Amino acid sequence: MELEAIPGVGAKTAAALRELDDPAATVESGDVAAIARAPGVNEARAARIARGAIRRRHDDEGRVLATDRARELYREAIDLLRERTVTDYAAKRLETFYPSSSASRIEEAQAFAAEATAREPDPAVREALADCAPLSDPPTVRVRDRCLATADAETLARAEAEVPELSVETVEDARDVSELGRSYASVIVLDESFAGLDVEGDVSVRPDALETPAETVPERLLAFFAENRERLEAAAAVHEAAAAAGDPVSGGAPADESDCDADPPVEIDRLRDALSRLDDDGTIAGDAELDRLTAAVDDLDAAVSTAASVADDRLREAIRERDVTIEGTDFLSLVEQGARVDSLLDRELADEYDEAIDAARDHLADALRLEPEEAELAERVFGGDPSFPVDHDESAVSRLRTELSAARDRRAAKLKADLASDLGDLREPVEELVRDALELDVELAISRFARDFDCAMPEVVDPDSSDPGFRIEGGRSPLLDVDFAEVEPVDYAVSGATLLSGVNSGGKTSTLDLVALVVVLAQMGLPVPAESATVERFEEIHYYAKSQGTLDAGAFEATLRDFGDLVDGADGRLVLVDELESITEPGASAKIIAGILEALDDQDATAVFVSHLAREIRDAADFEVAVDGIEAAGLVDGELRVNRSPKKGHLARSTPELIVEKLADDRGGEFYGDLLEKF
């Protein structure tokens, strides 16, 4: 895939996407979380890229939402869905659903939505989703006790690019490798020409080291799992909660009854066991031997100091308990020989001194929990010429530290390699584990939307079908500022250019909103708030909201230009217009609207014009304009009673007519009767 060919992807964004492991496949998948792992690409941007890739895949060049009000309705529809998500990911992922004119895209989205609405939202799953988030890449871990070595410049450049965690050194011969072996705990030579190399230190020749990063630098894999521990545990909890609810996560689609035992992509217990062996900083956890060696290295200096104090205390006690007598001639002899206290100790307290040294050695071995071979090295720390306070051999301490550090590093390296080996084949499955959990939130949002608003999956038909336009049965708008349960259902169907008449506050505008919402959702491939619906697959949706007052000459001219462009455009459009007559004088408005309807009728467009001038427009048009009406049943206690479903072929009575009729009935008289006859 040519990334720049995706709508909205320029050279800079394409360069960032190429940093992904498989940019073409990732973008093509529509996985918002995976796309967002490209440098500088946030989830909102990733959603737009995914949407662009979908458009390209379905050759969907159209822009269905042709007016500001149509785009507002789409945003309101998306907001209703986003309100039902738990994760930020799902809220962004829903942005990949858009009104499409492509039959294949609508069918694809409908298939996803149909499976989603089959899911039963469960509170436990929703609670588990609260901690779920996309995986993230950890910062690069620098490993300083290991290096790569090569004599080839090209291999050097590749190694530096692919394994930034390790230093890459240049070598020419065995001597160079040997020197590296003394500087690093471990050296990996990348050149096969060094095979059979025999030098001191932990040096291995591995020409395939760059192809096996889990073995070469296991810290990378461990850092990834450590960084994402909470996300992985949260995703695992989502899978377990869904399985307990009888609706397991199964690769982005809900399972039917025969699939209730669907397994997650990774064995949860195995994942948790591996994570328990990993510390938050990417180091090994839970290994007693590694903990012992690490503590021994860290505590060595303090233990040596304490052991020396133990010996000193033993000697003080011995001196207090004994009288040390020196004959005069012996004293003179010692003085002449320059004797110090250590000579006195050697002569008078030799046994006690040996016991004190033994106590120091025992304390050091016990404090550091040394193994027998390590304890032999520790014995060299104390000994030599007697002294008080007891002294220690710093070179022996250094040797012991070197041996313990080497043992610690060997143990850590082995454990890292073992754990990386265990985690290596979990890398892709855990990505699927998290992706499925996040996609479940998308599915459940659609399911909750469908259940909250009593939705049904609409039938979307081709423009040349025998049933063009739209048909809505039992539609209820969730956009009204009332409780959804109180919304009265509406039945309405239109094919061709139609006028919608009715009383003020009778629901004409809300009916247009309902039609627009149903069509937008249908062409998004999502369920619609109706008992049933059939919608033509429109190329464009033009929705013009009611203007606020009469326009000046310039604005009026601009509005007419918009409608001129509209009627000169392509076929396959839905046009919804709310009280266009408010843009100018009523007489002129009726003629203008009649002319627009004539042009739309010639194009076989589906159009609904809400107007109080239906009679005048019908008279001015040169074709038989269909007129529907939202009929008022009358006034009851000053409140309007309305049949919300438009009546086909019916010019609805206006509010003034209803009021005059009520007065004629209530008060009688020639005046009110004459007024009523004028209607």
Q: Note the pLDDT tens digit of each residue in 23-80.
A: 888 888 778 888 888 888 888 888 888 888 898 889 887 789 999 999 999 999 999 9
Each residue of 528-574: pLDDT tens digit? Answer: 999 999 999 999 999 998 876 555 556 667 777 877 777 776 678 99
Give residue 524's identity as a one-letter amino acid code: M
CA-closest candidate to residue 106, choices 40, 60, 172: 60
pLDDT tens track for 380-426:
888 777 777 888 889 999 999 989 988 998 898 889 988 998 888 89
* DSSP assignment letter at 622: S
Q: Is the peptide bond before 254 cis (omega within 30 degrees of 0)?
A: no
Question: Which amino acid, residue 83?
Answer: E
Considering only CA atoms, give the Rg of the chain: 41
* Sheet strand arrangement including 146-150: 167-170, 146-150, 186-189, 203-205
Q: Output the pLDDT for position 258.
A: 35
- The encoded tokens of residue 51 equal 């949407």
SS3 45: helix
Task: Determine phi and psi for 661, rounding to 5 degrees.
Answer: -60, -40
- Which residue would you say has higher pLDDT here, 337 or 464? 464
pLDDT given at position 658: 63
pLDDT tens digit string along 192-210? 999 888 888 889 999 999 9
CA angle (598 as vertex; 592, 603 as ends), nearest 5: 130
Confidence of residue 637 (pLDDT cuts 50, 70, 90): low
Kindly write down the DSSP assignment for every residue of 161-204, as one continuous string: HH-TTSEEEE--SHHHHHHHHHHSSEEEE--GGGTT---SSSEE
User: pLDDT tens, 599-631?
Assistant: 898 888 999 999 888 888 999 988 999 999 988
Which pLDDT score is estimated for 104?
95
Q: Which residue has the higher pLDDT, 299 or 327?
A: 299
Least confident of 174-183, 259-268, 356-365, 436-445: 259-268
3-state helix, strand, coil in the chain (%, to 5): 55, 10, 35
Euclidean distance between the first and the last CA atom of the chain, given in angstroms as a whole number? 66
Q: What share of the chain in percent tops pLDDT 70? A: 87
- Rounded CA-CA distance 624/78 in Å is 38
pLDDT of residue 207: 95
pLDDT at 218 over 90: yes
Q: Give me the half-sphere count of Cα atoms (radius 13 Å) on the Cβ side of residue 257.
A: 0
250 vs 43, more confident: 43
